[in-house]
Every structure is written in structure tokens, then in C-alpha cells.
Structure 1
Amino acid sequence: MEQMADSAAFALQVTNWFWVIFNVGSALLALIALVHCAVAKAAAFEAIGTLSKGTWVGILALAVVFTSILTQIPFMGIIALCASLIYLLDVRKGIKDIGA
């Protein structure tokens, strides 16, 4: 019975460490995306036909908040990670392709 309690405690520790690593990585990714978005030219967003720069800054700022401050809500961290990845993999690539 004691071995079962030890394995449950170990599983809980592994789960907690997973979420810590996930949140730190997501927060860094969101911060990188936010900084890139903040220094990009507003005209570049219109040129690629995506949301405005202000909208992306707001979305990514919320992503930073959800992944760094509100870490007790894992589902919001996953949504924030998705928003950061969409920006970095789609919008940033479009901005880079037009040379802005």
C-alpha cells in the first residue's frame, strides 16, 4: 500500500514539473512573439491581410499574462501557446516574406 502512495506522489511530481516546464516555455515563446509584433511595422500587417498590429499585440500580451501569471489555469496556457504559435508560424513568416 505504501508503494502505491509513493508512485502516486511521484506521478503528481512529474505532472507538476511538466506544467512548470510547459508554462515557462510558453511564456518565453509568447514574450518573443510579443516583442517581434511590437517592433514590426503596422503597414506590414495590412499588407499580408491579417489582423491589425494592435489586435495582435493585445492577443500576445494576454498570452504572456496567461502563461506567466495565471499558471493555475492550464487550458488558458494551451490557448495562449496556440496564439503565439499562430503568430510566429503564420503572421511573422508573412511579414518576413514581404521584407518588412
Structure 2
Amino acid sequence: MPEFTAVAFAFEVRFFVYLVITLGAALLSVIALTHCAVQKPDAFSAVGTLSKGAWLGILAITLLLSLLLSVRGGFMFTLIALAAALVYLLDVRTGFKDLRGGGSSY
């Protein structure tokens, strides 16, 4: 019987790892979505990226799919939502900082 206990423990650990990643991706998506919503639409064209509506759509749809389908084993959508949020936060948000002159001097 110890092998069944080890298998059950492995599934519990996997569940909690998926849960932490899903919640982290949801948090980053909400942060990116909020940041995107408060920006002016003309700032997106100044940075040279997709429009504000496109980014709002991408971030909202990936967040929604991640939260709805992660319950049914759709962990791939969580990873897609995480990737979309990270691209926005690391690329577009950084472009806004550089545009305002708040970038690093290094």
C-alpha cells in the first residue's frame, strides 16, 4: 500500500504547484490588465506596440480562459495568460517608463 500513498501524495503536490502557478498568473494578469486600462490610448502607438483595445482584449481573454479552464485541467491556458501578462509588463510597460523618462540610466 505505500506505493498508493506515494502516488496520492504526488498528485496533491502537483495540485498545489498548479494552484500556486494559476494564482500567480491570475495576479500578474490582473496587474497587467489594470495597468493597461489606466493608460492613454495614444501612448500605445507612441511606444510602437499593439493598440490599447488589443492589449485589453488579449489580457482579459487569457485571464478569463485561464480561470475558467484551469479547473478542468486547462493548465496550458494558464501558461498562455502568464506569457501574455509577462510580455505586457516586461515589454510594453517598460516602453511607457522609457517614454516618460523614468527608465534606468544604465
| TM-score in terms of structure 1 length | 0.94
For residues 24-79 of structure 1, the C-alpha deviation after alignment (integer angstroms, 9 at most, x for no partner) is 11001000000000001111100011000000000010122123222130011101
Matching residue of 2:76: 75
Q: Secondary structure at the match of 1:34?
A: helix
Look up the equivalent residue of 1:96 and give its one-letter code: K
Matched, 1:32 2:31: yes
Q: CA RMSD in A?
A: 1.2
Amino acid at match of 1:91: V
Where in structure 1 are there 5+ consecutive unaligned residues? none
CA distance, structure 2, for counterparts of residue 44 and residue 99 of structure 1: 10
The CA distance in 2 between the partners of 1:33 and 1:95, in whole Å, is 13
Gaps of 5+ in 2: 102-106
* Count of aligned residue pairs for this structure pair: 99
How far, CA to CA, are the matches of 1:74 and 1:28 in structure 2? 16
Q: How far, CA to CA, are the matches of 1:58 and 1:96 in structure 2? A: 22
Deviation at 1:20, TM superposition (A): 0.7
TM-score (norm 2): 0.89
State the partner residue of 2:87.
Answer: 86
Match for residue 5 of structure 1?
4
CA distance in 1, matches of 2:67, 2:76: 13
Contact 1:24 1:67 in 2 (8 A): no
Q: Displaced runs of 4+ in structure 1, greater than 3 A?
A: none
